[in-house]
Amino acid sequence: MYRCSDASQRIVVLKDQKNKAAHADSAQLACEAAGAIRTVSSLTREADCLRLYSSSLDGPLRMSNKTSLWSNMIYGFSQASGSWAIALVFWYGSTLVSRLEISTAAFFTALMVRSLSNMG
């Protein structure tokens, strides 16, 4: 459980670092373009600057979409694994209670122990 959470956090940090590096180039291009607009003749380059800036963001956007898909799948798995474990305990415990192998009180004790063991 903790490993999934740690892996999820690590993936988010790595993704954030990659996004910052990718957007640094486009931000530098935008700053240079804004700095270059000093004369009337350079104002006609506005459409060209916009096209260059938009195309410089295409690569980071594609990379971000791919990494966000993977990181969201891992995050979803890490969030769902606790519920799956509780569901398994509930199913197995109810099977034991229906066969009269354990009491209802013992079942709920085991269920609460499993539910609260993640909080420590």
Higher-pLDDT residue of 65 and 33 is 65
Report pLDDT for 51. Answer: 85
- Write the DSSP string, the chain: -HHHHHHHHHHHHHHHHHHHHHHHHHHHHHHHHHHHTTSTGGGGGHHHHHHHHHHHHHHHHHHHHHHHHHHHHHHHHHHHHHHHHHHHHHHHHHHHHHTTSS-HHHHHHHHHHHHHGGG-
Task: Work out the pLDDT band at 41, boundaries 50, 70, 90.
Answer: low
- Residue 43 confidence (pLDDT): 64
Q: What is the tens place of the pLDDT at every residue in 64-107?
A: 888 888 889 988 998 888 788 888 888 998 899 999 999 999 88
Per-residue model confidence (pLDDT) at position 5 = 64
